[in-house]
Chain A
Amino acid sequence: MSNQPILNRRSLLASMAAAFGATALPPSMGRVAAAPTPAPLLARPVPKSGESVPVIGMGSSRTFNVGNDQAARSSRKDVLRAFFDAGGSLIDSSPMYGSSEAVIGHGLGRLGRLGPQKNLFSATKVWTWRASDGPSQMEESRKLWGVDRFDLMQIHNLVSWEAHLDTLLAMKAEKKIRYIGITTSHGRRHKELMRIMRTRPIDFVQFSYNILDRAAERQLLPLAADRGIAVIVNRPFRRGELFDLFSRHPLPSWAAEIDCANWAQFFLKFIVGHPAVTCAIPATSRVDHMRENMGALYGRLPDAPMRARMLQYLAGL
């Protein structure tokens, strides 16, 4: 089994503590910091910068689009808290997801997660057909989140990507964003995506990949590794369908060898076990599910033979 703890929780907490003083940490973080042997947190570097990103982030389409429903907003804030408490950092959203950006911003504000050194890696998208509408949409997103600037701005589903890319390159040069990415979720766009990956200076790429939908293994993942592009994997649970298909079956006993205690961790570790993947962004509306998912941020990762064994097990179910 490979074990690649590039960042560990102790160093993460130590740097946060240095910045704020241990007492400024949220209580749950303080508790973790006081634990005798903090578990190592799995992270991978963004190839273009070397910056470490925890291998499990979170998505927000559907799950965080709850409008102005105050009870639902409060419950999503609890989900965010569970995410950060477990060492999470990268949050992905889009103006396409209705109120999700506003709900994230609401939660971040309530949790005191806005501002520098708050261990937030903010990732959203630009999604307009007219490129001239892009800047105002991105500014609106920034206000909704409440961040000073986005860490990562992605072009959603390749929409008007050429014109948006020019805007994003200029924004990056002005340090208004730190990274540029492009997203898709459908096999149909892979050819075009690969053309962009080969020819344009992007830092991140986002596409779908999970234990059943593995088309990305053929060309996309190797190309990303080859070009030094960070990979964010969306739909890691195939929108939840993987649980419908497999969760009635028992986890194999050998799942413990890669520190998987449940199916969520099994599915996620399969994904982040691929060396070209930087992180997966499962979405959930529930605190208990968030805790399960974030469990995949710790322990051993499957190597190639173990990943083959995981596939074989599912094929036999």
Chain B
Amino acid sequence: MFDIYGYSIADFFLYAPETYLRLLAAYNSAYWPAQIVTLGLAMALIALARTPGPAPGRAISLGLAASWAWAGHAFFMERYADLHFAAWIFGWGFFLEAALLLWLGVVRTGLRFAWGPHWTNRLGLALAVFAVALLPLAERLAGRAWSTLDTFPFMPDPVAVATFGFALMARRGAIRLWLLLPIPLAWSVIGAANAWTMGAYENLVTPAAAVLTLAALAGRAIASIPRRT
């Protein structure tokens, strides 16, 4: 049986920080300058949420699904698998999230997004913008080389944080929304453990975003109870 007590966090990330950064640098440079194009596309997705409705909802869900699938394939399956024995499990987790987004947001058209009016929607907007545009800058300020920054949708962290942002922008009361959260939450925990082990403390923003999202969604749900009764 797997004995979790026999292992420490560091036992699950058995590579040197330098090795991890070199992997990121090789990965990013293989796709450069696609990162600039995807930044534009991601901002367009965020802009689409300005006008709530089924069509923008479908387009955003499709864009997010593609992002999860891309990070799962290009990062986990193609690159990280060289360093981590469980990369394929993470990759399949990302594919599953992509499938959920397609099913709930495109096939069932159950997801609609908006910048407001609730404060949680605005918080979501801020998180999404942070994930795609500001997270790499924060990492740069923390001293990371340009070539090693986490960019959307190449790396799991910005994809997860952006998804938290869109979850907060989603129409209130969309129960299905909760189905979309377990995988980004699970990644926040795993990514945080990796960041901790690598000494990349700037990446702890991902679990912070997860906590913020859960707190905001819970706060919104609780606030809506008196109105229902």
Partners in one complex: yes
Answer yes or no: A67 CB below 8 A from chain B CBs: yes
Task: Determine whether the beta carbon of A188 is less than 8 Å from that of B14.
Answer: no
Point out the residue from B1, B22, B79 that lies within 8 Å of A129, measured CB to CB: B1
A-B contact count (CB 8 A): 60
Q: Of residues 1 to 59 in B, which have CB atoms within 8 Å of A's CB atoms?
A: 1-3, 5-8, 10, 14-16, 19, 22-23, 26
Answer yes or no: B176 CB below 8 A from chain A CBs: no
Asked whether A98 and B15 contact (CB < 8 A) given A67-B82, A69-B23, A239-B10, the answer is yes
Size of A's binding interface in residues, CB under 8 A: 26
Asked whether A69 and B26 contact (CB < 8 A) given A96-B85, A158-B6, the answer is yes
Chain A nearest Cβ from B52, distance in angstroms: 44
In whole angstroms, how far apart are the Cα atoms of A289 and B204 in the complex?
Answer: 32
Chain B nearest Cβ from A41, distance in angstroms: 30
In whole angstroms, how far apart are the Cα atoms of A95 and B15 in the complex?
Answer: 13
Answer yes or no: A62 CB below 8 A from chain B CBs: yes
The A contact surface, by secondary structure, is loop
Chain B nearest Cβ from A268, distance in angstroms: 21
Answer yes or no: B118 CB below 8 A from chain A CBs: no
In whole angstroms, how far apart are the Cα atoms of A249 and B10 in the complex?
Answer: 27
Task: Determine whether the beta carbon of B14 is less than 8 Å from that of A62.
Answer: yes
Chain A nearest Cβ from B30, distance in angstroms: 12
Residues of A within 8 Å of B26, CB to CB, are 69
Asked whether A186 and B6 contact (CB < 8 A) given A61-B14, A62-B14, A98-B14, the answer is yes
A residues whose Cβ falls under 8 Å from a Cβ of B: 61-63, 65-69, 72, 95-100, 129, 157-160, 184, 186, 188-189, 239, 285
The 10 closest A-B CB pairs, nearest first, are A67-B82, A98-B83, A65-B15, A61-B14, A66-B19, A99-B82, A62-B14, A186-B6, A97-B14, A67-B83
